[in-house]
Amino acid sequence: MMPREDSDRTLMRRLKRGDERALTGLVLRHSGRMLAVASRLLGSRADAEDAVQRAFIRCHTHAKDYRPEWSVTTWLYRILTNACVDEIRRRRARPEEPLAPVAPAGRAGPGPETRVDLERALAKVPTEARALLTLRYVEGLSYDELARIRGISVNTVKSQLKRGKEILRAALTERPRSMREGGR
Amino acid sequence: MTSQAQGRLFDLEGTLRDRLRPEPVEAEAVRRIARGALRRLQQIERIRDGFVVDASERGVVAVRRGRRAEAAGAAARRFSERGREELHEYLDGQRSFFDVPVDLSPLATFQRRVLEGAMRVPFGETTSYSALAARIGRPGAARAVGSALGRNPVPFIVPCHRVLRGDHSLGGYAFGLPMKSDLLELERSTSVLEGCTSTHILCRVGCHALARSRPDHRVTFASVEDARSVGYRPCRLCRPDAA
């Protein structure tokens, strides 16, 4: 069987040639994980679907700019994070909309309250650090990949993550009752 | 227990790994994304239809469908050429602002004020006919504002498509309502602030300095402050910090 990355690159090559079926192939393969990142970053499932859709459109319209030195996954996360960050800019321009609408929990596992606490706490983290935290903890990406995706140095990635975590920790431990119920 | 002590005991790493774990995504959502992306690609093709840009010696006077008219004078030719380039970049999702001057001097005072008001509606945003009427000091003249916008000779560059009815329905548009909604969608899909990853300079999308950078060397930022926080500085040409 062809290695996954090779076959991603084959899809990108086909997309570069204008083959729209290759786009469907990339969507089927990657949109699940991209949706997970976007949902966590934007706090809204509808906005997340929109952002993932935009990311794939951009992937198609900018396929000619793709260079094989990029892993397709990293390339897609760069485009996706760009789309999500721009959505955050738009929300700021319309302050009547909350910055991170709280998504309903709707699944078994941790109680909705702790979930809501974490989303509220994440909303307090500045955009750049929040994007890095999300990519790191939803997708488990390395410092190098994060640096590549956001166009910053590995040192900046580390300092942003550290700062983000400090803010999260302070926000989450402000609420001892929720911490007892959800923290471990 | 002090909050510092609580902070030390609290397992943030574990909480993040646990709570941010991806949830399964239903197949229907994936199909929705694929269908939506292909539909929007067709919209993008639709709005790239040929438009021509006419200019006077003071700036662009008209954007219309049809054959190119020969501009009289070197300045008019330059404005017409620049307007055409900027319009193509805008329709291509590569530009979030127009730099080329617009010449509204041939128009009647009321229409000129309406169009100048429309030019202040930011990229990617919308306003209503009545809010625009109030903004130009003519509250209650929403209908007249609508008809002045309907006769906008410089669509796209004077963004009359950003003005909607009070109930957020589209209202009218000279090139048809599908075009109006495609343009609003185009603006929602175009970034406004991008930084170059090799120079660490932040530009407004459409700036010449940014256009010189490799496309895969660009990242989007939500604000000048966000970009500064990771070591980017605002461009001195397009001044995103002053916009």
User: Can you read off the two tokens belonging to residue A25?
Assistant: 């192939």
pLDDT for position B120: 94
Of A109, A147, A140, A132, give the one whose Cα is nearest residue A33. Answer: A140
Residue type at B51 in one-letter notation = F
- Residues B144-201: tens digit of each pLDDT: 999 999 999 999 999 999 999 988 899 889 888 988 998 998 898 899 999 999 999 9
- Decide: helix, strand or coil at residue A2: coil
Asked if B131 has any chain A CB less than 8 Å from its own CB, the reply is: no
- Report chain A residues whose CB lies below 8 A from the CB of B20: 40, 118, 134, 137-138
- Report chain B residues whose CB lies below 8 A from the CB of A123: none
- B229, B232, B233: which to substitute to probe chain A, counting the most A Cβ within 10 Å? B229
pLDDT for position B48: 67
Q: Which residues contact B21 (CB under 8 A, 6 or more apart)?
A: A138
Angle between helices B142-150 and B109-119 (to 10 degrees): 90
Residue B60 has pLDDT above 90, yes or no: yes
B222, A86: Cβ pair inside 8 Å? yes
Query: Which of the residues of B are catalytic?
Result: 160
User: Can you read off the two tokens belonging to residue A34?
Assistant: 């991209």
Q: Are B181 and B200 in contact (CB under 8 A)?
A: no
pLDDT for position B15: 85
Of A55, A165, A48, A167, give the one whose Cα is nearest residue A100. Answer: A48
Closest partner CB to B222 (pick from A88, A134, A156)? A88
Burial (Cβ within 10 Å: 0-12, 13-18, ≥19) of residue A112: middle
Q: Are A76 and A59 in contact (CB under 8 A)?
A: yes
Rounded-to-integer distance, Cα A161 and Cα B140, Å: 52
Please give the residue that has the higher pLDDT: either A154 or A114: A154
The Cα of A167 is separated from the nearest Cα of chain B by a number of Å equal to 11
- Residues A125-137: tens digit of each pLDDT: 999 999 999 999 9
Q: Are A172 and B15 in contact (CB under 8 A)?
A: yes
B242 CB-side CA count, 13 A: 5
Residue A36 has pLDDT above 80, yes or no: yes
Residue type at B235 in one-letter notation = C
B16, A133: Cβ pair inside 8 Å? yes
A61, B93: Cβ pair inside 8 Å? yes
pLDDT for position A153: 97
Count the Cβ atoms, other than its own, within 10 Å of residue B183.
Answer: 22
What mean pLDDT, rounded, does chain A reach? 83
pLDDT for position A6: 57
The Cα of A46 is separated from the nearest Cα of chain B by a number of Å equal to 10
- Report chain A residues whose CB lies below 8 A from the CB of B16: 118, 133, 137, 168
Please give the residue that has the higher pLDDT: either B227 or B11: B227
Q: Are A22 and A9 in contact (CB under 8 A)?
A: no
Q: What ipTM was estimated for this complex?
A: 0.82
B10, A82: Cβ pair inside 8 Å? no
Residue A115 has pLDDT above 90, yes or no: no
B11, A184: Cβ pair inside 8 Å? yes
User: Residues 185..204 of B with a Cβ closer than 8 Å to A: which?
Assistant: 188-189, 191-193, 195-197, 200
pLDDT for position A3: 54
pLDDT confidence of A176, banded at 50, 70, 90?
low
User: Residues 57..76 of B with a Cβ closer than 8 Å to A: which?
Assistant: none
User: Can you read off the two tokens belonging to residue B58?
Assistant: 């003071």
SS (H, E, C) A24-75: HHHHHHHHHHHHHHHHHHHCCHHHHHHHHHHHHHHHHHCHHHCCCCCCHHHH
DSSP 8-state symbol, A101: P
pLDDT for position B20: 80
Asked if B3 has any chain A CB less than 8 Å from its own CB, the reply is: yes
- Residues A79-88: tens digit of each pLDDT: 999 999 999 9
Backbone φ, ψ for residue A154 (5° rounding): -60, -35
Rounded-to-integer distance, Cα B227 and Cα B234, Å: 8
pLDDT for position B93: 84
Pairing type for strands B163-164 and B193-196 reads unpaired
User: Can you read off the two tokens belonging to residue B195?
Assistant: 């930084």
Residue A108 has pLDDT above 50, yes or no: no
Of B11, B220, B20, give the one whose Cα is nearest residue A139. Answer: B20
- Decide: helix, strand or coil at residue B206: coil
End-to-end CA distance of chain B: 48
What mean pLDDT, rounded, does chain B reach? 89
Query: Would you put residue B93 in left (φ > 0), alpha (ψ -120 to 50) or beta?
Result: left
- B18, B19, B200: which to substitute to probe chain A, counting the most A Cβ within 10 Å? B19
Rounded-to-integer distance, Cα B12 and Cα A58, Å: 35
For range A108-137, the mean pLDDT: 80
Of A56, A40, A162, A51, give the one whose Cα is nearest residue A102. Answer: A40
Q: Map tokens 């089927």 to a residue.
A: A28
Asked if B2 has any chain A CB less than 8 Å from its own CB, the reply is: no
User: What is the sign of the dihedral through the CA atoms of B147, B150, B156 and B158?
Assistant: negative
- Residues B67-122: tens digit of each pLDDT: 777 767 899 999 999 999 999 889 888 899 999 999 999 999 999 999 999 999 99
pLDDT confidence of A105, banded at 50, 70, 90?
very low
B34, A169: Cβ pair inside 8 Å? no
B12, A172: Cβ pair inside 8 Å? yes
Instruction: Please give the C-alpha separations between residue B147 and each of A39, A66, B7, in angstroms, as whole numbers.
Output: 41, 45, 61
User: Can you read off the two tokens belonging to residue B4?
Assistant: 């510092």
pLDDT confidence of A183, banded at 50, 70, 90?
very low
- Report chain A residues whose CB lies below 8 A from the CB of B24: 32
